Structure formats: structure tokens, C-alpha cells
Amino acid sequence: MVDNFASSDASDMNSQTVSQNSGTRVLGSPLLTANGLVKRFGGLVAVDNAAIEVPQGSITGLIGPNGAGKTTLFNLLSSFITPDAGQVLFDSNPIQNLPPHEIAHRGMVRTFQVARVLSRLSVLENMLLATQKQTGERFWNVWLRGKQIAKEERQQRDRALEILHSVGLAHKANDYAGGLSGGQRKLLEMGRALMTNPKLILLDEPAAGVNPTLINQICDRILTWNREGMTFLIIEHNMDVIMSLCDRVWVLAEGQNLAVGTPQEIQTNSQVLEAYLGN
Amino acid sequence: MANYLVSLIVVTAIYALFSLGLNLQWGFTGLINFGHVASMALGAYTTVLLSSEGIPLIVAVPLGAVLAALLGIVIGFFTLRLREDYLSIVTIGVSEVIRLIALNEEWLTKGAFGVQSFPLPLQNFRPTLLSRLFMIAILTAIAVWAYGKIFCWIRQRYQKLNGSVDLTLVLVGLFALGGVVLYWVAASALYNFSQNPARNGLMLISVIFVAIAFWMLERLADSPWGRVLKAIREDEEVAKALGKNVFWYKQQSLMLGSAIAAVAGSLIAWQLTSVYPSTFEPLTTFYAWIIVVLGGSGNNAGTILGAIILWAYFEATRFLPNLTQALHSVFSFIPPAIDPAREGAFRLMLIGLLLMILMMMRPQGILGKKEELTLGR
């Protein structure tokens, strides 16, 4: 935890310099930036001119009351839906008009609010699926380049088992993913995201519906991977999780940005409290 | 009797091939294709019309497959972005449109009159003893390979059941025994090839096609490509999030499945030696569905077993009227034989009933995995 607080101080400084000049601090250049995002569903404006920035190497939080548009924003960032206006930059390239699978190719992978696993595939197969650009994903290669495919499969299998081991699911590798508990599904989803070799992982409520012991395990995992260089953007309602993990927190309310700051700042921000608790 | 059994092998092989195409689309990818017969029709008409114009069969058959694959792409392009039930409605519509075109464009297809007297493969082939033995060797190789697979499967299942025997095991064992008789019939038909070259040749070709398709599909099912298809079947949003181009994979699945069905179409044209639009009514599609569901969706071996069971059933119940007539003469309370039209309907009714019983007792199909049904999403 200690080193995490140290890094959050660094990001604190960074957060104040974002608008003028980013990329000078330890956490450095923004990996993901979104500006002026708008999404309307009929008459409802779900996301209204929202912005967000995720610096390289950070764990950035995204919070807000129910219906604030957090998940819609996530869907916009990962191109699952296209914005009516605004821009999303990933690694300095605009990505808002790319198909979702292309986003994953470029190194940004998301998880889902309700963990989605591929039930009738084994846990290991769930992991193996995540590898990008496999030779065996082209059907003619299956008949023509069997050796190459077998080699890749062996390598990926080792890597998958390593990750499964780190999330504590190695003993379940050959079970159907559909037989996992809710918390295990969350872990599998995170492991699967890591398996894609991403630069940025978007986690949608990693602690929702998970028991406290497993929450700790999930948080430990996120911190470890972060120390190894992975960047995270996390939606979460559990404030303990947000406070212990995040370098910086963005608050969304009614589709608009309400506040940005360190967890400590957000905790004491009267506007945020108002949005959550009402007047 | 031997002739009859050879024809039975041909029909079963054709339906097995046809259903393997559907199994790729439904069993592995989860695409509800109710218009599978459209590809079969396209394959059949392309093959016979081109070969009647003097184009060699070896070119005509692949062309039919390519055309069917293109049709798959066109259908997919307009429907795959929709939810799956829309796909089912559009595909059944397309298959009817294809059939109605065949019925009405008489300049091309001769309409309800049908296309006859087109070239059949190997019809002028008069093999020497050596080439007959070679053909028997091919058949034997396929049979040995199949029995190797069956034997491994039986042993595995027997061990999993801890030495006890269940209904599936008995069923598979019985069919395997029956297969020995069929192998003998097929081999002797090949030995006496010249008695009916077209039919005996077709039997060998059909069996080879099924074997090749099965082998290729099994390779695919176990590959990363097959894994992506299964992922799409389970939850396409996950596949998308993990960087898979879901639309393109569904297209590939539709394409390959359609091409396989088109080859089955060429075979059925040769089997019937005449092609009518009425051959390609939606009922044919649903036979394939029965076969796939019966054997266990997503299981290639199950699909072949399903085809065998369906045709064994059809042929067994063919003698139903004789049976009821005989019973009637002994026990007067049993009604006499029903007329052929009703008898046909009655056989289909029985199939429906059997399917319902199967779905209640064994919802995963004969070779399907029970565990898979108990999983939550």
C-alpha cells in the first residue's frame, strides 16, 4: 500500500498540470484521453460533454451515482457504442470510430459490469481465446500451418496457466467457466484481459457482488499488475476499493464531469457528497 | 437388398455432409440458419446445369460451392448485424426465394419439369481389378479410421462410467456392429463396381466427402479458429472485447457451412439423377436440424450418428404399413394399414414424438455433454 500512496502523490501534482502540459511527471503522458463525449439515447443524454484522462502507469478511478453514465462512458471509450460527438485518443491516435475488436488489438481491453465468461468453454480456453493475432485464427492456417499453431498454443498455455495461477484459478483450468462463482468469474475476466497483453485495462466494477476476502485478493492483483507497469481505469462503487487503489478519481454525475482529484480530495468534495447523498 | 443398402449409405452420407455444414453454423457458432437448403439447391443446380453444358464435374462442383459461399456472404452481410432470430427468418425466406426462382425461371432450370439426364460421376468408369481393389482399400482405410475413433470413444466412456454401461454406449455399440455389415455391403459393391458404376461410384465419393469434411471440421473445432466461433456462440460481446472481429468470423462460418451444403447438393442431384425444385423445400433444412439436435449440437461425430439414426428410422418405418396389416389379420382390434399419404405424415409425427422424448430425457443430444446444460451464463 505504501508505495501506492507515494505514487498517488505524484499523480496529484500531475492532475493540476494536465490541462497545460502533460507528460512531464512520473506517471507521464496520458495513455487515454477523451474530450467532449456526447451520447444521446433518444431524448436522454446519457453522457453529456464528458472528458477523462488516464495517465500511463496509473490506476484511475471513475465514480458517480447510479445512472451517472459511467458504463455508457466505458462503452464509448471501448467503442462498443459510437459517440454522437467528441473524441477519444488512445496512444495519441483517435479511436472513437474504430470497431471494438480493433481497440483490443491496439492494447485497450475492457471487462463487464456483470462478469461475462464463456460458459461452455473451459477456464483455460477462456484464457487462450484472449491472445491477439493467433496464427490459428485464420481457418486456412489450421490445415496448412498446424505445427506453428501447436507451438503457439503451447506457449500461450504456459502463459495462461501462469496468469491463472496468479489469480488463484489454476486448479480450475480444465473446468467449465460456467461453473465458476461470481467472484471467480471476476478474477477470470481480469486474467483474460491481461492475457491480451494490453496497455490499458478498463475494469467495470471489479468488486461488485464479491465477498470481502475476494475483494482484497482482486485489489492485490490490480496493485501487483500496476507495479509491473499496467495501467487501469476502474469504475467502482465500493469506496474502500477506490480509496486504496486509485491515484486519481474522476466523478461523473448526470453524464457530466463533476470533479477530478485524488481520492482524499474527492472524499471531502462537497459537490460530490451532494451528488451522492442529495441536499 | 444389397442395392438398397448401398443407396441407403449414399443418402445417409449426403445428409450427414449436409448436416455437418449446419452443425458448423449452429453447433459451433450459434447461428440459427433455417435456410440451409438454399445452399444445397444452389450446389445441385449449379453442378447439373454446368455439367450439362459440358463443363467437367471437377470444376462444376467447386463452382457450386463457391456460389453457395457467396450467397452465404450476401445473406450474412444483410442479417448478421441483427439479432439471431432475425437471421433465422431471413434465411428461411431466402431459401424459399431460391426454390421459387428455380420453379419459375424455366429457361434456366426447366421449372417444375426438372433437370434430367445430366452427367454422373464415374458413370463410364470400368475399373480393372487393381483399381477396384484400390477403391476398396480407400473404403477400408476410412472404415478403420472410423472404427479407431469409435473404439477410443467407447473405451473412454466405459472408463468414465467406471465399468458400467449406459444407453448411449449400447446404442453406439449397436450402430458400430451394424456398420460392419454396411462395410461388407459397400466393399462388395465396389468389387462388383461395373454392375452399377454410377451408384457404386457415388457411394464411394459420398463416403470420402463425409470423411474429408469430418476431418477438416474436427481440425477446425479444436483450433483457435474454432475457439473463436464457440466464444461467439457463448457471448459475442466478450469475443468483441477480446479483439475478435465477430462479424467476419460469422461470415466465415456461414460461408464454409454453405459450401459444404452445396457439395451435398451436388451429391443429392447425382443420387436422384434428376433435380426438381420440390426437393429443396424447407423440410429438408429441418431434417438437418433434427440430425444435429439428435446427435448433440456442436459435435461432428454426433451429427454423423444423427444422420445414421434418422435414416435408419426412415427405412425401418417404411415397412410399418406391412406390419400393421399383418397385425390386423391376427388381432382385429388393430386398425388395418393406413394409406401411403397418411403413413408418411404418421412417420413424421412419430419423429416429432421421439424428438420430444429425447429432449426431455436427454436434452443435450445423444453425444452432447450433459454438464454443459447445467451451466449458468
Assign a CATH topology to domain A2-117+197-277.
Rossmann fold (3.40.50)
Question: In Å, how far are A22, A82, A85, A233, B299 from A78, measured between CA atoms?
Answer: 23, 9, 15, 12, 35
Contact A178 B377 (CB under 8 A): yes
pLDDT of A163 reads 94
N- to C-terminal Cα separation, chain B: 50
CA distance, residue B341 to nearest chain A CA (Å): 43
pLDDT in tens, B137-149: 999 999 999 999 9
Residues from chain B that touch A149, judged by Cβ atoms under 8 A, are 223-224
Q: Sort out which chain B residues have CB atoms less than 8 A from A118's CB and list them.
A: 230-231, 234-235, 238
Judge: A116–B235 Cβ closer than 8 Å, yes or no. Answer: yes
Residue of A118, A132, A184 to mutate for B, most B C-beta atoms under 10 A: A118
Please give the average per-residue pLDDT across B306-323, as a whole number: 83
Assembly ipTM: 0.85
Does residue B67 register a pLDDT over 50? yes
- C-alpha B4/C-alpha A151 separation (Å) is 48
Distance from CA of A254 to the nearest CA of B (A): 26
> According to the model, what pLDDT value does residue B345 have?
81
Question: Which single residue is written with the C-alpha cell 457528497?
Answer: A273
Query: Which cell numbers in the block locate residue A114?
Result: 456483470
Q: What is the pLDDT along chain A (279 residues), one digit of tens a residue?
A: 333 333 433 344 333 333 333 333 355 688 999 999 999 998 888 999 999 999 999 999 999 888 888 899 999 999 999 999 999 999 989 998 999 999 999 999 999 988 899 999 999 999 999 999 999 999 999 999 989 999 999 999 999 999 999 998 999 999 999 999 888 999 999 999 999 999 999 999 988 888 888 888 889 989 999 999 999 999 998 888 898 899 999 999 888 888 898 988 888 888 888 888 776
Helix (H) or strand (E) holding B203: helix B197-221
For chain A, state the CA radius of gyration.
Answer: 19
Residue with cell 459393391: B189
For residues B336-344, average pLDDT: 73
Q: Which residue in chain A is spatially nearest to B234 when comparing CA positions?
A: A118
Measured CA to CA, the distance from residue A249 to residue A108 in angstroms comes to 19
From residue A273, alpha-carbon distances to A172, A239, A259, A278 in Å are 42, 12, 11, 7
Over residues B188-202, mean pLDDT: 91
Does B50 contact chain A (CB < 8 Å)? no
pLDDT at site B346 = 81
B139 phi and psi, to 5 degrees? Answer: -60, -40
Mean pLDDT score of chain B: 90
Query: Between chains, do A192 and B242 touch, taking CB under 8 Å as contact?
Result: yes
| A:86-145 residues touching chain B, CB 8 A cutoff | 99-105, 109-112, 116-121, 125, 128-132, 134-139, 141-143
pLDDT average, residue stretch B363-368: 82
Per-residue pLDDT at B123 exceeds 60: yes
Contacts of B239 in chain A (CB under 8 A): 101, 129
CB contact under 8 A, A136 and B224: yes
Look-up of cell digits 451522492 = A276
Instruction: Report pLDDT digits (tens) over B28-37.
Output: 999 999 999 9
CB A235 within 8 Å of CB A70: yes
User: Which residue do the cell numbers 500461450 mark?
Assistant: A156
The backbone torsions φ and ψ at residue A35, rounded to the nearest 5 degrees and listed phi first, read: -130, 140
Which residues, in sequence order, are bridge partners of residue A250? A62, A260
d(CA A257, CA A267): 16
Query: Which residues, in sequence order, are CB contacts of A133 under 8 Å at separation 6+?
Result: A105
Residue B328 has pLDDT above 50, yes or no: yes
Q: What is the pLDDT, as a whole number, of residue A238?
A: 87
Q: Which residues of B touch A142 (CB under 8 A)?
A: 219-220, 223-226
Report CA-CA distances (Å) from A212 to A63, A207, A218, B25, B45.
20, 9, 10, 43, 65
Q: CA nearest B253 in A: which residue?
A: A139
Q: Please tell me if residue B228 touches chain A, with a CB cutoff of 8 Å.
A: yes
Q: Which residues of B touch A112 (CB under 8 A)?
A: 237-238, 241
CA distances from A94 to A63, A91, B305 (A): 24, 8, 52
Residue B138's pLDDT is 95
Query: What is the pLDDT at residue A231?
Result: 94
A62 forms bridges with which residues in the sheet? A235, A250
Is the distance from CB of B274 to CB of B1 less than 8 angstroms?
A: no
Check pLDDT > 70 for residue B4: yes
CB contact under 8 A, B241 and A120: no
Report pLDDT for A22: 34
Listed by start position, the domains of chain A span 2-117+197-277, 119-179
Strand A44-55 relative to strand A30-41, pairing: antiparallel
The answer to whether A45 and A16 are in contact (CB under 8 A) is no
> Cβ contacts (< 8 Å) between A128 and chain B: which residues?
224, 227
Chain A partners of B225 at a C-beta cutoff of 8 Å? 136-139, 141-142
* Interchain contact, A119 vs B230, CB within 8 Å: no
Query: Under a CB-based contact definition with an 8 Å cutoff, are residues A165 and A71 in contact?
Result: no
Rounded to whole angstroms, how far apart are CA atoms B129 and B140?
A: 16
**Is B230 within 8 Å of A120 (Cβ atoms)?**
yes
Complete DSSP assignment for B221-239: HTSHHHHHHHHHHH-HHHH
Backbone angles phi and psi of B3, in degrees to 5: -60, -45
Between chains, do B216 and A143 touch, taking CB under 8 Å as contact?
A: yes
**SS3 label, residue B339:** coil
Taking CB atoms and an 8 Å cut-off, how many pairs form between chains A and B? 108
At B273-300, the pLDDT tens digits run 999 999 999 999 999 999 999 888 889 9
Of A128, A132, A149, Cβ closest to residue B243 = A132
Over the range B46-65, which residues count as b (16 or more CB within 10 Å of their CB) and which as e?
bbbbbbeeeeebeebbbbbb
**B252 near A CB under 8 A:** yes
- Name every chain B residue with its beta carbon within 8 A of the beta carbon of A138: 225
Q: Chain B partners of A125 at a C-beta cutoff of 8 Å?
A: 227, 230
User: Nearest by CB to B220, which of A101, A142, A192?
Assistant: A142
pLDDT of A16-52, one tens digit each?
A: 333 333 333 355 688 999 999 999 998 888 999 999 9
Closest CA to A249 of A120, A70, A66, A93: A70
**pLDDT given for residue B79 in this prediction:** 84
| Per-residue exposure over B311-346, b if at least 16 CB sit within 10 Å of its own CB, e if not | bebbeebeeebeebeeeeeeeeeeeebeeeeeeeee
Chain A residues whose CB is inside 8 A of the B256 CB are 139
